Amino acid sequence: MKKKRFNWLNIGKAPGDEFGVYSIWSKNLCIYVGLAKEQSLRSRLYQHYSGSHNDILDKWIKSSHPLWFFYESVANNNAIEAKERDRIKRFAPIANKVLLKKERQYGKLITSL
């Protein structure tokens, strides 16, 4: 996985014919982990950049904070969801709904700028 600045130009360099898992970061803070299972990694990242379905992630993207992204191509389509779950457990992204569900159970976590 190579870290790249989250901008239009670098997203265009992501594979347009590969699927896998990606994460979006601000410094050492993981903002979001997602999967590209039915769309290519490039298409999925462009969707977030243009207007994310996730309100917290969208606020981060629209902010002035520099963001970075990583992606991992996964050849086996069935393994993508397992890899995403693993990355969510490992990185504890603040904008993922899985973590927000835990927040409701265990109390407020840092999810804002």
C-alpha angle 29-32-34 in degrees, rounded to nearest 5: 145
Tokens of 78: 């069935």
Cβ atoms of 35 and 106 within 8 Å: the answer is no
* 37-66 average pLDDT score: 91
| pLDDT-derived band at 112, boundaries 50, 70, 90 | very low
Q: Above 60 in pLDDT, residue 108?
A: no
Cβ atoms of 92 and 99 within 8 Å: the answer is yes
Give the mean pLDDT of the chain.
86
Secondary structure element (H or E) that encloses residue 10, with its range: helix 8-11
The confidence score (pLDDT) of residue 106 equals: 44
Cβ atoms of 73 and 19 within 8 Å: the answer is yes
pLDDT, tens digit, for every residue of 12-47? 999 999 999 999 999 999 999 999 999 999 999 999
The confidence score (pLDDT) of residue 96 equals: 87
Distance of alpha carbon 14 from alpha carbon 72, whole angstroms: 10
Cβ atoms of 91 and 30 within 8 Å: the answer is yes
Q: Above 70 in pLDDT, residue 103?
A: no
The confidence score (pLDDT) of residue 12 equals: 95
Closest by CA position to 98, among listed 69, 49, 56: 56
